[in-house]
Each structure stands twice: as structure tokens, then as C-alpha cells.
């Protein structure tokens, strides 16, 4: 919680003025019982109506001044709380954007949504309430006790006993409820996760007629959350009745002691009324404080959950590695690679590279995987093992294999979505870990398996690839991706509206636009991760032909489960259970790799496969 207070630094004035005006309001409020005592002891006792009227006007003045101070305090508290929340949410969003896929997988989407919304709002409410009441309530409590001592020391001793008892109850409940509220928020994460799964997978649930089981799963999780909420609610609910009992008992004792003192002439009736008023003020303020403690408890638990996200440091960027020092190191590395090219090639060949991968200088290599292995977080087995190959500049590399064989894992390591557990991935002869993430990804265009478009226009989405792209560049990318025809048919063409997630487009249209978005930036390395699965074979063939004929020396990685999509690639990697089952051209793999031949024959007639071989 303390670390998050940095977002209040721009609201120092508000954080001082809000409690200051609340203290002023409290000060005027403490004078009210004394004025009431004067009205009773002087105005009513003497029958002086003028005095009563003047004191009543004084009460009205105190009320108006107090209200003005309260509204002013509320304004400053709200401004500081909303500004604090805006800064915190912005910082949290930027921090989440800096995390790698590995950290995002660990956190999970549902808990990030909860912390960005529910948790952040709870913290905002906590800051608002603290600025308004955290100083005011204790000030009233102890101020009332001090004012009681100015009236009568003996009667004030009742306050001395009552206040510690009340504090014990309040802080005891707080100590018990803070850890429970953390569990409640974790339960909310689980409910949100199930809700999100059901919303995103609604079609699958209906297709397999699993509505009943999903409703049961949601009800169980929701019932567990409800039970936790009820449990912590009952503990928190103890605060009000216990404080009422203590205060009312103290009031009874106070009236009894006050009556005795009035009888002996040590106190006036007005003084007793003032003491009872002070006790009532303490009761009201402690109820407020109790509610404040509950709010602050929730806010503290939520703040700790938000802070845990901030504490998760991105593993993908090294301080200055991608800047001048990194560039110098990269240049030195390239020179070293060039000088020792033959030795490096000899030492890094895999069992498949002997006949299929030419040994080249690092200068000619766009990407090299050198004995790479990779584990996902908390995974029992390696996702990839001993991946070793080199891709020259301008080559098209096809990657094929069964579901779960590690195809996406291979290409995800090039832009450092994940890091190698062993071995190294080199881009332009330089380890990807020696680049800054920004510098590395400026070289690479990635089209992921799931086509993601954002609400806005086609132009807005395409300019994600290059912010200053001209219309000619956008149309060129659309033409290459085979999307120009349907874009021209839309009202507004480049300015045609796209709904959130591209809901007003077909699957093939979305995939072609995401490919165009990557092509706009004219990357040195283009990764198409099963990004044409929704296209028909004819459009897929046109797309591959257009990409092959692009200007420049772009290295293209095509991940696909279609043999037809990668059979014309310069080099094909065949993956099986995280290992290279074969590497070579289409003809070589048909003759030598059983896994590739099995995939090919499953998609084409065996007679055709035999002819091709």
C-alpha cells in the first residue's frame, strides 16, 4: 500500500487541505455542546430570550461554517482520490504491458481484470475515506475527551476508560478481517475467471451441451465466495453492536455520576448535557471510524494485490542492453561470428542439419537457433528441446507439426515473447537477450494465431504497424495480404468502421487485415503463426505468392498445419513433441521424414504423395 502512495505526489495540496478542512469542521463541532450548555445554564435558567436567540444564531453560524468546511474537504478529497486512482490505473496498465507472455500466463487474465477494476476502485474509495475521516474521527474522539476534562475531571475519567475499550474492539475486528478480505478478493478472481471462460466459450459450451455443468461450477464458486463474504461480514458486523453497548453503558454511568455532581453543586445541568453530547459525538465518530476501518481494510487488501503486480518485474528487458552498449556488443558479436563462422557451424549442427542446412556466416543469417530448449512456467516437461537451425535472409521457413508439437513456441522465441531455458536465439548474429525489447521487435512483424482487431477504422488498425504510413503504403499492404478487394467494397474503404474484436468481419477478413497490419511496417522478419487458417486454398496460395514477391530481403516464418502452405518454403522444420523430427525441403522430407510424410499423406491422396516423392 505504501508504495502506491507515490501516485499521490501530484496531489500534495489536496491531501493536506482535505483533512485540514475536516479538522476545522470537527473543531467547530466540538464547540456546539458548550454553546448548548450556555443556553441551558444561562439563557433558560435566567429566562433571557435574547441570549437564547443569540446563542441559536451562533449554532447556525457554526453549522454553516462546518458545512462549508465539509464540502471543501470533500472536494479536495475526491480530487485527490480520483487523480490517485487514475495515475495508479495508468501505471498498472503500463506495467502490465511491459510484462512478457511468461508473467502474463502466471497472472492470468481474470485476476488482471479484477485488479484493474474492482481492486482499483476499492483503493480509490479507501483513499477518499481516509482523507475525509481518518483524522477527523480520532480528533473528535480525543477532542471530546479533552473538552470533558475542561468541564469535570471526575466525569471525564469515564471517557478515559471508554475510549480504549472502543479502540480495542475496532482494531481487533480490523486485525481479524484484513486477511479474510484478501481471501474474498481471491474468490472474486475465481468467479470472474469462470464468468470470462463461459462468455468467451459460449458457443463451445452450447455445442457440447455443457450448460448444466458450467452453471453448477459457477454456482459452487459463487456459493464459496458468498460464504466467505458472509463470514467476514458477520465479523465486521460485530463492531456496531459492541460499540453501541459500550457507549450506552458509558452514557448511563455518565448520567449517574453527573446527577450526583449536580446534587452537590459541582456541575450544572448544562454541563451534564454537554458531557452527554460529547459522549454521543464519540459514539457517532466511532461508528464512522468502524465503517472507515472496514473500507480501509478492503482497500489495504486490494492495494496489496495491486502492488503484487507492480512487484512482478518484466524478465524480457535488460537495462541498457538494447542501447549504445548493446549495439557495441552486437557489432563485436557479429565480427566474432564472422571470424569464427566455420567453427560455430560445425559446433551447432543438429542431427538434421548435416545435409540440409548450409553452413553460413552469421552475417548471412537472419535467425539462428543454437541448441535451444524452453520450459513454460511450472510446466513439468520442456516444451522444446535441442532446436537447432539457421534461417538466411530472404528465406521462407515453414514450420509444421501436430497440435502441441511446439510450432508456436519456436516462433514466439524470436520476438522474445518467451526466453530460452537453454541455448540461444540469435537475430542478425546477436542474442535476442542483448537487444532491448523495443529494438528487437522493431525488426519483426508478428501475426498471431488469433486475429485481434481493435475498435476504430481499418486505417487505425493498419497504422499499428507504422504510425506515419501513407495511404499508398496501406493499400500496398492490403494488396499483398489479399484484403484490398473487400476493403474497397466497404463504405469509407480505409475509414470503414471496425467493431471491437472485428465482430463485423468474417474470420478470413480479420486474418487478412492482421497480416496487412504486419506488412505495413515492412519488417526484416515476418512471422505468420497459423494466421491463414481461415483462408481458402486459392487465397492462401495468392497470399504466399505475394509475400514471396515482396520487395526487400524479408525472412518469412510460416507456421501451419497445412502442408500446402509450407511445401514451397526454402526450409521446412518438422516438429514432433517439442523436438525436430526433420528439417529440409519438401522433396527431402517426403523421402526421409516419416512424420512429415504422414502429415502430407493425411491431407493429400497417397497416390499424389507417391507421385510428388
Residues ≥6 apart with Cβ < 8 Å to 101: 412, 417, 418
Per-residue pLDDT, averaged over 124-146, amounts to 83
d(C-alpha 549, C-alpha 159), whole Å: 88
Alpha-carbon span 60 to 46, nearest angstrom? 22
Q: CA angle at residue 517 from 516 to 521, to 5 degrees?
A: 105
Question: Count of CB atoms within 10 A of residue 383's CB?
Answer: 20
pLDDT in the model for residue 337: 43
Cell of 604: 493429400
With 60 as the cut, is the pLDDT of residue 335 above it? no
Of 204, 168, 76, the residue nearest 128 (C-alpha): 76
Q: Which of 450, 446, 478, 490 minimizes the C-alpha distance to 546?
A: 478
* Of 12-16, 325-329, 382-386, 493-497, minimum mean pLDDT range: 325-329
pLDDT in tens, 260-314: 888 877 778 888 888 888 877 877 777 777 777 778 877 887 888 888 888 877 7
Cell (9 digits) for 521: 511496417
Kindly report the three-state secondary structure assignment for every residue of 479-494: HHCCCHHHHHCCCCHH
Does the pLDDT of residue 352 top 70, yes or no? no
Query: Residue 72 — very low, low, confident or very high, per pLDDT cuts 50/70/90?
Result: very high
Size of the chain, expressed as the number of residues it contains: 613
Q: Where are the alpha helices (DSSP H) in 132-152?
A: 136-151
* pLDDT for the residue 470: 84
What's the grid cell of residue 255? 448520567
Instruction: Reply yes or no on whether the pLDDT at 612 is more than 70.
Output: no
Give backbone dihedrals phi and psi of 430, rounded to 5 degrees, phi first. -130, 130
- Which residues have CB under 8 Å from 546's CB, separation 6+? 479, 480, 481, 482
Interval 478-526: pLDDT, tens:
888 888 888 888 887 888 888 877 777 787 788 888 888 888 888 888 8
Residue 329 has pLDDT above 80, yes or no: no
pLDDT at residue 342 greater than cutoff 70: no
| pLDDT (mean) for 168-185 | 78
pLDDT of residue 379: 66
Q: Is a pLDDT exceeding 50 seen at residue 557?
A: yes
Q: What is the CA radius of gyration of the chain?
A: 36
Residue 186 has a pLDDT of 78
Q: Look at residue 171 and tell me whether its pLDDT is greater than 80.
A: no
Phi/psi region, residue 65 (left: phi>0; alpha: psi -120 to 50; beta: rest), is alpha
Counting residues of the chain whose pLDDT is more than 70, the rounded percentage is 89
What is the b/e burial string over 112-144, where b = at least 16 CB atoms within 10 angstroms of the residue's CB? Answer: bbbbbebbbebbbbbbbbbbbbbbbbbbbbebb
The pLDDT of residue 607? 42
Least confident stretch, 138-142, 221-225, 532-536: 532-536
pLDDT over 70 at 355, yes or no:
no
Residue 50 pLDDT level (bands cut at 50, 70, 90): confident
Q: How far apart are CA 203 and CA 197, in angstroms?
A: 11
Cell of 303: 492495494
- Measured distance CA(7)–CA(25) in Å, rounded: 27
Q: Which three cell numbers stand for residue 343?
A: 567453427
**Which pLDDT value is given to residue 57?**
92
- Are the C-beta atoms of 536 and 506 separated by less than 8 Å? no
Flag whether pLDDT at 350 surpasses 60.
no
Q: What is the pLDDT of residues 366-399, one digit of tens each?
A: 888 888 888 877 666 778 888 888 888 888 888 8
φ, ψ at 405 (rounded to 5°): -80, -15
Instruction: Report pTM.
Output: 0.65
For range 151-169, the mean pLDDT? 81
pLDDT of residue 1: 61
Q: Mean pLDDT of all residues in the chain?
A: 79
Amino acid at each position: 500500500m505504501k508504495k502506491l502512495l507515490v501516485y499521490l505526489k501530484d496531489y500534495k495540496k489536496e491531501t493536506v487541505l482535505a483533512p485540514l478542512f475536516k479538522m476545522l469542521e470537527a473543531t467547530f463541532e466540538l464547540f456546539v455542546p458548550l454553546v448548548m450548555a450556555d443556553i441551558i445554564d444561562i439563557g433558560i435558567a435566567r429566562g433571557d430570550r435574547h441570549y437564547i436567540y443569540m446563542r441559536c444564531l451562533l449554532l447556525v453560524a457554526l453549522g454553516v461554517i462546518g458545512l462549508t468546511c465539509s464540502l471543501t474537504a470533500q472536494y479536495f478529497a475526491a480530487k485527490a482520490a480520483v487523480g490517485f486512482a487514475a495515475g495508479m490505473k495508468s501505471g498498472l496498465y503500463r506495467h502490465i504491458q511491459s510484462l512478457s507472455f511468461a508473467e502474463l500466463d502466471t497472472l492470468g487474465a481474470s485476476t488482471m481484470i479484477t485488479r484493474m477494476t474492482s481492486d482499483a476502485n476499492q483503493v480509490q474509495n479507501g483513499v477518499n475515506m481516509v482523507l475525509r475521516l481518518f483524522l477527523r474521527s480520532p480528533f473528535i474522539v480525543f477532542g471530546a475527551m479533552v473538552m470533558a476534562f475542561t468541564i469535570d475531571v471526575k466525569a471525564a475519567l469515564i471517557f478515559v476508560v471508554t475510549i480504549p475499550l472502543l479502540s480495542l474492539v475496532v482494531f481487533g475486528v480490523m486485525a481479524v478481517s484484513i486477511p479474510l478480505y484478501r481471501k474474498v478478493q481471491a474468490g472474486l478472481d475465481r468467479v470472474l475467471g469462470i464468468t470470462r471462460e463461459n462468455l468467451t466459450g459460449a458457443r463451445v459450451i452450447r455445442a457440447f451441451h455443457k450448460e448444466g455443468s458450467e452453471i453448477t461450477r459457477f454456482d459452487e464458486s459463487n456459493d464459496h465466495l458468498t460464504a466467505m463474504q458472509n463470514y467476514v461480514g458477520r465479523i465486521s458486523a460485530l463492531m456496531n453492536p459492541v460499540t453501541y453497548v459500550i457507549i450506552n453503558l458509558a452514557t448511563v454511568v455518565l448520567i449517574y455520576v453527573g446527577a450526583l455532581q449536580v446534587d452537590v453543586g459541582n456541575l450544572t445541568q448544562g454541563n451534564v448535557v454537554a458531557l452527554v453530547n460529547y459522549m454521543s459525538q464519540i459514539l457517532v465518530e466511532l461508528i464512522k471510524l468502524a465503517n472507515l476501518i472496514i473500507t480501509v481494510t478492503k482497500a489495504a487488501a486490494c492495494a496489496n494485490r495491486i502492488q503484487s503486480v507492480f512487484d512482478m518485474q518484466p524478465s524480457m528487458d535488460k537495462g541498457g542492453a538494447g542501447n549504445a552498449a548493446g549495439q557495441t556488443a552486437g557489432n563485436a558479436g557479429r565480427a566474432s561470428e564472422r571470424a569464427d563462422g566455420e567453427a560455430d557451424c560445425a559446433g551447432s549442427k543438429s542431427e538434421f542439419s548435416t545435409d540440409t542446412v548450409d553452413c553460413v556466416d552469421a552475417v548471412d543469417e537472419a535467425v539462428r537457433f543454437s541448441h535451444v530448449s524452453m520450459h513454460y512456467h511450472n510446466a513439468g516437461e520442456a516444451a522444446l528441446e535441442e532446436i537447432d537451425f539457421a534461417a538466411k535472409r530472404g528465406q521462407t521457413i515453414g514450420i509444421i507439426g501436430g497440435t502441441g508439437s511446439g510450432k508456436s513456441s519456436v516462433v514466439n522465441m524470436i520476438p522474445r515473447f518467451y526466453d530460452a531455458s537453454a541455448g540461444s536465439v540469435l537475430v542478425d548474429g546477436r542474442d535476442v537477450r542483448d537487444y532491448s525489447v523495443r529494438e528487437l521487435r522493431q525488426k519483426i512483424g508478428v501475426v498471431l494465431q488469433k486475429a485481434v482487431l481493435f475498435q476504430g477504422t481499418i486505417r487505425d488498425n493498419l497504422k499499428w504497424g507504422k504510425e506515419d504510413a501513407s495511404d499508398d503504403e496501406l493499400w500496398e499492404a492490403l494488396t499483398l495480404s489479399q484484403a484490398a478487394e473487400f476493403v474497397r467494397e466497404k463504405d469509407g474503404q480505409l475509414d470503414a468502421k471496425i467493431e471491437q474484436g472485428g465482430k463485423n468481419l468474417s474470420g478470413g477478413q480479420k486474418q487478412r487485415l492482421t497480416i496487412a497490419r504486419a506488412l505495413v511496417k515492412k519488417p526484416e522478419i515476418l512471422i505468420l503463426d497459423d494466421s491463414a487458417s481461415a483462408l481458402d486454398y486459392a487465397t492462401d496460395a495468392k497470399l504466399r505468392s505475394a509475400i514471396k514477391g515482396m520487395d526487400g530481403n524479408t525472412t518469412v516464418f510460416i507456421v501451419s498445419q497445412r502442408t500446402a502452405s509450407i511445401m514451397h518454403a526454402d526450409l521446412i522444420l518438422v516438429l514432433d513433441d517439442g523436438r525436430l523430427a526433420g528439417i529440409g525441403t519438401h522433396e527431402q522430407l517426403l523421402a526421409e521424414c516419416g512424420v512429415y510424410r504422414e502429415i502430407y499423406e493425411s491431407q493429400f491422396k497417397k497416390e499424389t504423395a507417391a507421385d510428388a516423392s
